[in-house]
Amino acid sequence: MTGNKDALDILLHIANPAAARIAAPLARAFAARGVRWGCFLTNDGVRALGDAAFAATLPTAVRVVVCEHSWDQHMAGRECPAQRGSQTINSALMAEATRVVSL
Domain around 80? 10-102
Confidence at 60, pLDDT banded by 50, 70, 90: very high
Average pLDDT, the chain: 94
According to the model, what pLDDT value does residue 55 have?
A: 96
pLDDT surpasses 60 at 3: no
According to the model, what pLDDT value does residue 47 have?
A: 97
pLDDT surpasses 50 at 2: no
Beta pairing partners, 101? 12
Q: What is the domain-level CATH number for residue 18?
A: 3.40.1260.10
- What is the distance between the alpha carbons of residues 46 and 37, in angstroms, rounded to a whole number? 17
Give the pLDDT confidence of 12-36 residue by residue, as tens digits: 999 999 999 999 999 999 999 999 9
Q: What are the phi and psi torsion angles at 40 (to 5°)? A: -125, 130
CB 17 within 8 A of CB 42: no
5 located within any domain: no
2 located within any domain: no
According to the model, what pLDDT value does residue 6 have?
A: 67
